[in-house]
Structure 1
């Protein structure tokens, strides 16, 4: 059960904006979490309406835990100078299910292809710095049920592994609902059994992805 799990990926817990200025041209990046192509397209259209007076509203998005769907647009900039570099920032940072629009207000000075690539890349990075990012980790949801004599040992083992119970139900026994990292499942099952002489195990185990919050 523990083999064949996909790797982790990063998601936006909240979107953000950032700005980069190059030779008086303003590049405003807006990022938002999007779960589907339709949602990403609506977001892009929303930004185009908001910044209707801008020279360009270039865009990129990544959908799916393995980046199954990606799209990008240069929106009138020279081919390959805007959308593709923007997309590469998202994929390079492991970001999934997200879209970005970079709005350019032209400053009167041509930047050349290298300058455009640098500016659109940097704008997305500035936007990401103002987002809250989490990591979707492959793992398991399970319940550990212990009597009151064993619950202290169980809680100690969980703390040692950095696992915080999601909830606790107190009845005849104590039932702890847990999210367990994929790589820790087998080890934790053995440690619980060893510490309680086999009285405590993990029940209702199912595969999930769950969010670990992180600072970008």
Structure 2
């Protein structure tokens, strides 16, 4: 399993023009297929007067959830070149949408492939590419006198506390980068009861 992956920080946009046709491109970070579907529906509604709204997306740290759509363009001339630009940058959790306004002159299959590839590339070139860690959730229980050791271990392993409760028994839910998970569990098992959530 992958410890980290590349994605984009925020939405970005680009533009490509060829023989009167305009190709507006938009790159979005996306966490799941529901978000992707909502974004695509929004673009189709917003650009309802455009000839085509084509897209490609890649999801998951392992980059195994992907799809592309030509939206009426000849097969393989739109969605596939868009996906190719996502793959060229090794990105995931990303959606790229390219909206085409027809300029009156047919571009041919080669021209379409170039146009969609360049439009997608421009949007991704404008994006800030970031590396994110794949995190795992851990729930721990411990006695309050152990708090110093627990907190020190959490800091050393770059874990994030997402929930904590200091009632009769102290509990915390942590998000820890996968790379640090084995050492964190090993260290914490010496002083606390551990439950791995995900």
Give yes or no for the alignment of 1:153 onto 2:149: yes
1:204 equivalent in structure 2 = 195
**Structure 1, unaligned runs of 5 or more:** 208-216
Q: Is the 8 A contact 1:20 1:123 kept in 2?
A: yes
Residues 38 and 22 (structure 1), Cα distance of their counterparts in 2 relative to 1, 3 Å cut: closer
Aligned partners of 1:39 and 1:183: how far apart in 2?
28
Q: 2:85 aligns with which of 72, 89, 94?
A: 89
Q: 1:73 aligns with which of 70, 73, 90?
A: 70
1:172-191 mapped onto 2 (5 Å cutoff): 172=168, 174-191=170-187
Aligned partners of 1:133 and 1:120: how far apart in 2?
24
Q: Secondary structure at the match of 2:160?
A: coil
Q: 1:121 aligns with which of 117, 128, 140?
A: 117
Q: Is the 8 A contact 1:60 1:71 kept in 2?
A: yes
1:142 equivalent in structure 2 = 139
Q: Is the 8 A contact 2:50 2:100 kept in 1?
A: yes
How well do the aligned residues superpose, as a CA RMSD in angstroms? 3.8
Residues 131 and 144 (structure 1), Cα distance of their counterparts in 2 relative to 1, 3 Å cut: farther
Q: Is the 8 A contact 1:19 1:26 kept in 2?
A: no
**Structure 2, unaligned runs of 5 or more:** none
Q: Deviations over 1:113-146 (max 9, x none)?
A: 5554343233334444458978471523222524
**TM-score scaled by length of structure 1:** 0.65
**1:74 Cα deviation from its structure 2 partner:** 5.2
Residues 61 and 182 (structure 1), Cα distance of their counterparts in 2 relative to 1, 3 Å cut: closer
Q: Is the 8 A contact 1:13 1:134 kept in 2?
A: no
Aligned partners of 2:36 and 2:158: how far apart in 1?
35
Q: Is the 8 A contact 1:140 1:182 kept in 2?
A: no
2:14 equivalent in structure 1 = 19
